[in-house]
Amino acid sequence: MTARTITYRDAVHEALREALRGDERVFLMGEDVGYYGGAYACSKGLIQEFGEERIRDAPLSESGFVGAGIGAALGGMRPIVEIMTVNFSLLALDQIVNNAATLRHMSGGQLSVPLVIRMATGAGRQLAAQHSHSLECWFAHVPGIKVVAPATIEDARGMLRTALADPDPVIIFEHATLYNEQGELPETDDYAMDIESARISRSGGDITLITYGGSLQKTMAAAEGLAKDGIDCEVIDLRSLRPIDDATIMASLAKTHRAVIVDEGWRSVGLAAEISARISEQAFFDLDGPVARVCSVEVPIPYPRHLETAATPQPDKIAAAAREVLRR
């Protein structure tokens, strides 16, 4: 199979364009998605191709345009709503949590909300606390929605297609540091990707490193560094945060017997804590030591580069945690 090199941004752009071309019910709505081309240039040129009816610039009212997306989905459309950054999604929590996630249940299955919400997340761009947090676990806490975090070019290209086919709301978190990253995309007639399963990104037998999104590359770098010292790491890219693929995690632990969870969210009451609890419940007797967590320091994400780096998971911190687990 042939492959081509593209950026994560281009992969998202291709996925959007394919969706708009393939289904006239699909439209894109959000702040600056039109003539500006999107805050991260993912929709550049789409308004010229598809027009203002299908590429809709929204006012600065997340609650308003997410609510409009929910209404359009109820009416039979397939809206893709882009929220500029996860921090701004808090302005639409009522619409997402109290409406989109609940309407199927509250209507006794009569209503369906086939809505896709895309948003940038994460630190690493010196945009300080109001634009840099990782709040994926807030949404993963809520029944009625699926939550995915494409960490690779292939997933960035393929997850949107599967999300649009889902009858219920799907939230796609794109780590903002990934947009410029390049990778190989296999040429295929069907780019659709599973949005409910984890992936083994690196096979190994000594310890399992579990992560997702923007932390995958850092975790892989830590694993490669540890390999030089003879430590063979298995790396799991969760990909889906709701549902979580317990089976893949537990199968890996049955082999390695040790785990480190890497999560750019905060440690307290976070996704890493949830996965650690699941491991304790389902694989306790497979463990040869306590599960370790590498998370962001419990402060608002700082603006200065050195403090932002110090506050978030980095390869050296991940490697140090893995070595400590292996010493126990």
Catalytic choice (62, 82, 136, 154): 62
Catalytic residue among 13, 31, 82, 131: 131
Q: What is the dihedral of CA 181, 184, 186, 189, to 10 degrees?
A: 30
CA-wise closest residue to 213 among 175, 257, 259: 175
Q: Is 62 a residue of the active site?
A: yes
223 φ/ψ sector (left φ>0, alpha ψ -120 to 50, else beta): alpha
Phi–psi pair at 98, nearest 5 degrees: -90, -15
234 is a catalytic site residue: no
Tell me the C-alpha to C-alpha distance, in Å, between residue 117 and each of 98, 131, 172, 196, 270: 15, 17, 6, 16, 21
258: three-class secondary structure by DSSP: coil
Question: Alpha helix locations (H) across the chain?
Answer: 8-22, 46-50, 62-74, 86-89, 93, 103-106, 136-140, 153-165, 216-227, 246-256, 271-283, 305-311, 315-327
* DSSP structure class, residue 95: I
Token output for 22: 């393939």
In the sheet with 199-202, reading across from the earlier edge strand, the strands are: 199-202, 233-237, 207-211, 259-266, 292-296
Cα distances from 192 to residues 54, 79, 162, 195, 267, in angstroms, run 22, 18, 6, 9, 33
Of 131, 325, 310, residue with least CA distance to 233:
325
Residue with token string 């306590």: 290
Q: Which residues are catalytic?
A: 62, 131
